Every structure is written in structure tokens, then in C-alpha cells.
Structure 1
Amino acid sequence: MLRTFAFLTAAMVAGAASAAPAQFAERTVDVHGKTYRYQVFIPADIKPHPAVVLFLHGSGERGRDNQKQMSQGLPPWLKEHMDFPAVVVIPQAPDDTEWTDEADANMALAALEKSVQEFHGDRKRLYLTGLSMGGYGSWQLAVDYPDKFAAAAIICGGITALPDPEGRNLFVHGVPDGKDPFEWAAQKIGKTPVWIFHGGDDNVVPTEQSRKMNAALVKRGAEVKYSEFPGVNHGSWMKAYATPDLWDWMFQHHR
């Protein structure tokens, strides 16, 4: 009896010691002859068929260092919540590009696909989120791949071009001439559930972008939630990712 107890105790200690802690890891993906670096959050003691989240950063985090994209939005939140249960794919857009560019979108999807394969992710539980430029990119992916993601959380993004020169390529591509861009995007997105977040005093991406997108989705009878933070400027992602029931809402949706 004592010998059996000792064996079980040793086995439990060995199992605890071998359990992998949650971590961020660097990865690379090749797309059309170019190599891109990205980060991936790996949950502790990862189980088979985890949910996988794709996060798209804002314009200030572009580059090739594979570090800047860790400084804003979801990655800092994850560092404070290392018990997060899903794999998170965190690509980095090169300088002077936009997530709405086809090349950047393809790179992000390639990083997502490689992560799904590496961690045997559940293809019925793929989720999308992004902020600012990444919010625009999230709308683009939701429009172009309406059957891919189980749900999306889109923060201070938009559909139409910004009025300043910095927004020269930052708009959702593919809107036919003469079509209302918000109604068209809502129709293309189809049944993908979306939770939209925006600061009420955003002077970078006008709050009206999210208000119009929410109205268009409501008009179509889509599953949509809208949270506007009064008095908050562009950095609404801090409040968005701190929303208590965000992830419960996201993860209750399956394809």
C-alpha cells in the first residue's frame, strides 16, 4: 500500500514538472518566396484541438523586428492573463503596408494556417480580432472569408478611407461602384458574429465608422454587439480587451 502511494505521488510530481508553462514563441512563415516572422502565444499544458485567435496590430507596430506588435492591444493583455486557454497568432505587417493589402492578408492567414497545423487547432473555433489598422484588416478578412471565423472582435477599425494621407491604402477593398460600403460589407460578412468596440471621442478613426457598420449589421439581422466608450480617444483597445465577458462571448461561437 505504501509502495503504491509512493509510486502515485512520484508520478504526480513528474507530471506536474513536465507540464509546459504558457509562453510566447517566435515562428516564421514563407509566402510567395518571402519569409515573415511572427509570434504565437501557446497556452499552458496545451490540449489537443485548441481554439486559435488571429490578432492584427495597429499601424504603429509595423516593422520586421517581430517585437513591436507585442506592445499594444491583445499581447500586453495576454501577459497579464497567462491562463488564457487559446493559441494566439500575432503576425507583424511590414513598414509602409496595410493589413487590407492582399500580401499582408495572405501572410496573416498563412501564419494562422501554420499555427493551426502545428497545434492541431480546431478549425471550427478560429477567431479574429484587431485594432485600428488591424481593425480595418479584420473587416477585410471578415468580408473576404465569411465562412472562416467563428466570431470576431473588431476595435476602432473602419470600412472607408481615412481623410488624411496616412490612410491612403487603409480601406476595405472590393466595394463595387455605387454600393454603400457599409451595407455591402455587412452583406458580405454574412453570419459571422461580430462585437464592435470604439472610443466615443476617437480623432484618428472616426467613431462613425463603427456606428455605421453596427447599423448595417443590425439592419441585416446579423449577430452583432456594439460597445462605445464615452470620452475615450483612439486607444479604446485597453477597455475592449478588459471587457469581462468578451472571451466567453467569443468562445461560445463555433462554426
Structure 2
Amino acid sequence: MILKRLIFALLIIFSFTSCTSDDDASTPDRRSIEDLETDFQALNLQQGINDVTLENLNGSSWNFRVIIPESASSTERPLVLTLHGAAGGDVDAHKNTACYAEPGFAALDPIIVSPNGGTQLWNSAFNQDLVIGLMYLTQKYLNVDRDRTVVTGYSNGGNGSWFYAEIYPEIFTASIPMASSYSTFSSNGSVRTIETPLYVIHGENDELFPLAETQEWVAATRDAGTNVTLEVAPGLTHYESCNYSPYLQNAASWLQDEVWD
């Protein structure tokens, strides 16, 4: 059922991003989901770090990292999707997993997927295509426990973590935004409830995204019924992402003890 929902979401997003006004008979045939699956299977992913490029459905490229633990050969592993910060187009942005994702989730021994969002925000149509596509492929072809899937990220990636928790609760069973700025108020002033459990980590001295705003948004959605925990990282600013690793370890314990138990 989860895979059916994933492929449905992927088809909807793809149909939106691929529609153009100048389609004609000379337009080459678009790639199918079957083409995408065939190419993913041909990647021959190995234990350890795999940095790969995959041609997506509309002919452009997805760049991403997949980290596969040794334990994945024998048992289903949790799946961590980690979204990098910024949107500056750094071609290596998805390779920064050693900073906080790897040490932060070490106790879970998960499969880690880290996509490169390019110059677009994580809620863009292209990046929704990327995220949903990778979730579909990894859940179908890797040894993933579909009941233990978490989206996390820092700064822009933290905002993306909120977004995917809210918009795709059928795909992610938990979300861990770090150093984020995501209002839980709708334009009419009402507060939105998010179905996915969240563990929000925020630096006390974040100079880009003030702590007080995040505290207000967390408190409001918690009062509305969202299962959300806020941990404040004492003394940390916005530009100390690697120092968030111990707090991510706390979030990993929360996953094991309170969400996935």
C-alpha cells in the first residue's frame, strides 16, 4: 500500500513538472517509471558510501548518496532521508553526511539517503519529484523497514523536513528538523496540525532563524494536537551544523523509544 501511494505521488508530481506548452510530435518519448527502476537496479549499490547519478523521468539528473550498512544484508533497516542546508547549487552538498547524519544516527545503523536539491528549495516540484522518487526506489529495492522512515535536515533541509512531514505523512513515520524556520500558521491565522511526529532541534543563539519564532510555531501546533518535541541546543548559532550531532543522537533515541517502539 505504501509503495502504491509513493508511485501515485510520483506520477502526479511528474505530470505537473513535465507539462509544457510546446509539446509536439518531435518531442522524444519520455522515460517511464519502469526505465527509472531499471536504471536504479543497475547502480549495483554496495555496503558503505555510494555517490551516484540517475537520469530521472524528465531526462534531467538526480545526484544523491546512499549509505548502506553491513546489517542491511540480513535485516530490514530504518531509512533516513537527510536534506542538506542552503540552496546554492553546491554539486557536493549531498556528500556532507559525516557532519551530523552519520554520527547522529549511528545507533540506528540505518540506510541513509542524501539527495542534492540543487538551487531549488526542498518544497519545489522538482525536489518533490526527487524525494518521492528516491523513497519509492529505495523502499522497493533496498532492505528497508517501511515502518521506520524518517526525514531530517538542516536549515533549508530542516524546512524541507517540516514540509514532507506535513504533506506526505503516508511516507514518513517521523521528522527531525534542525535549525529551521517553518510557520505552522495558515494564511487565515488558524494553526495546522501535522500528522507525522516531529522532534525539532534549534540552536539557542540562531541568528538567522530566531529561536522565539520556532518556539511559537512548535507550541501552537502542539496545542492543536501535533506530536512534537522541541530540544533547544544551548549556545549554538545557525552556522554550527556539525555541533548538532549530539542532539540528533537524542532524536534517534526518541525514535527508538517513543515512535518506533
State the partner residue of 1:213: 217
Residues 178-217 of structure 1: matches in 2 within 5 Å? 178-180=188-190, 183-184=191-192, 187=193, 189-190=194-195, 192-217=196-221
In the TM superposition, what is the alpha-carbon distance from 1:105 to its structure 2 partner?
Answer: 2.1
Equivalent position amino acid for 2:151 in 1 = L
Other-structure match for 2:255? 250
1:26 aligned residue: 51
C-alpha contact 1:198 1:236 (8 A) present in aligned 2: no
CA separation of 1:79/1:157 partners in 2, compared to 1, >3 Å: closer, same or farther? closer
- Cα distance in structure 1, aligned partners of 2:107 and 2:159: 28
Q: CA RMSD in A?
A: 2.7
Q: Does 1:91 align with 2:115?
A: yes
Is 1:132 aligned to 2:155, yes or no? yes
CA drift at 1:34: 1.8
Task: State the secondary structure of the residue aligned to 1:245.
Answer: helix
**What does residue 122 of structure 1 align with?**
145
The structure 2 residue matched to 1:146, chosen from 148, 161, 169, is: 169
The Cα shift of 1:128 comes to: 1.0
Structure 1 residues 62-73: aligned runs within 5 Å: 62-63=89-90, 65=91, 67-71=92-96
**Number of residues of Structure 1 aligned to a counterpart in Structure 2:** 212
What TM-score do you get using the length of structure 1 for normalisation?
0.73
Q: For residues 115 and 46 of structure 2, what CA distance do their matches in structure 1 show? A: 22
Measure, in 1, the Cα distance between the counterparts of 2:217 and 2:174: 16
Rg: which structure is higher? 1
- Cα distance change, pair 126–79 in 1 and its aligned pair in 2 (3 A): closer
Residues 80/92 of structure 1: CA separation in 2 closer, same or farther (3 Å cut)? same
Aligned equivalents of 1:155, 1:216: Cα separation in 2: 18
Cα distance in structure 1, aligned partners of 2:157 and 2:149: 17
Distance 1:108 1:254, change over 3 A: same
State the 1:211 CA deviation: 0.8
SS at match of 1:129: strand
Matched residue type, 2:99 = P
Residue identity opposite 1:24 in structure 2: I
**In structure 2, how many angstroms separate the alpha carbons of the residues matched to 1:41 and 1:217?**
33
1:233 partnered with 2:232:
no
Q: Quick one: distance in 2 between partners of 1:100 and 1:202?
A: 23
CA distance in 1: counterparts of 2:221 and 2:189, whole angstroms = 15
Pair 196,39 (structure 1): closer, same or farther in 2 beyond 3 Å:
same
2:66 corresponding residue in structure 1: 40
Contact kept, 8 Å, 2:99 with 2:245, in 1: the verdict is: no
Contact 2:80 / 2:112 at 8 angstroms: preserved in 1? yes
1:71-94 deviation line (CA, Å, top 9, x unaligned): 3xx432455586751101000011
Percent of aligned pairs with the same residue? 21
- Given that residues 31 and 110 in structure 1 are in contact (C-alpha distance below 8 angstroms), is that contact kept between their aligned partners in structure 2? no
**What does residue 58 of structure 1 align with?**
85
Q: Following the alignment from structure 1 to structure 2, what is the Cα–Cα distance between the partners of residues 86 and 40?
A: 11
Structure 1, unpaired ranges of 5+: 1-19, 161-171
SS in 2 for 1:89: strand
Give the Å deviation of 1:146.
1.9
Which stretch shows the higher mean deviation, 236-245 or 97-106?
236-245
SS at match of 2:146: coil
- The Cα shift of 1:57 comes to 0.5
